[in-house]
Amino acid sequence: MSVSFYFIDEIHSYQMKIRTIANITFCCLAACGCQDDTVNDSSDKSLSINIEEHELKLGENQTDTLHITVQQELPSLKHDIINIFSADTNADIPFEIDTIYQESTKKYAIVFADNGTSNIYNRNVYLSVSTGNIDKPHEKSDTFHVYKSFFTDLPVIYINTPEGQDVTSKNTWMEDVSICIYDEKGQLAFNGMTEIKGRGNTTWTYPKKPYALKLEKKSEILGMPAHKRWVLLANYIDKTLMRNHIAFFLAKAEKTSLEWTPRGKFVDLVFNNRHVGNYYICEQIKIDENRVNIYENTPQDTDGGYLLEFDKNFDEINKFKSETSGLPVMIKEPDEDDLTTAQFNFIQEFINGVDKKIYTSDFADKRDYMQDIDVNTFVDYYLIYELTGNTELEWPKSCYMYKDKGGKLKAGPVWDFDYATFGPLYDYYRKGPSNTSIWWFARLHEDPAIMQLRKERYNTLRPSFIKVFDEIEAVRKYIKKSAEENSKLWPIDKYDINKDEKKSFDEAVTLLRNNLQEQFEWMDNNI
For the domain bounded by 3-147, which CATH number is listed?
Answer: 2.60.40.10
Q: Does pLDDT of 29 surpass 70?
A: no
User: Strand, helix or coil at 177?
Assistant: strand
Q: Does pLDDT of 242 surpass 50?
A: yes
Task: List pLDDT tens digits, range 51-90.
Answer: 998 888 776 677 889 999 887 655 555 656 788 888 876 6
- Where are any strands of DSSP class E within 323-425? 328-333, 399-403, 409-411
What does the pLDDT read at residue 131?
75
Task: List pLDDT tens digits, range 277-294.
Answer: 999 999 999 999 999 999
**Could you give the CA distance from residue 257 to residue 368 in angstroms, rounded to a whole number?**
21
pTM value is: 0.78
What does the pLDDT read at residue 290?
97
**Could you give the CA distance from residue 329 to residue 337 in angstroms, rounded to a whole number?**
18
DSSP structure class, residue 134: S
What does the pLDDT read at residue 151?
61
Domain ranges of the chain: 3-147, 156-283, 306-526
CB-based contacts of 365: which residues, under 8 Å, 6+ apart? none
Q: Does pLDDT of 516 surpass 90?
A: yes
From residue 294, alpha-carbon distances to 286, 291, 403, 406, 446 in Å are 10, 9, 8, 10, 31
Q: Which residues pair with 320 in a beta bridge?
A: 329
Task: List pLDDT tens digits, range 163-174.
Answer: 999 999 999 999
Could you tell me which residue, 274 or 46, shows the higher pLDDT? 274
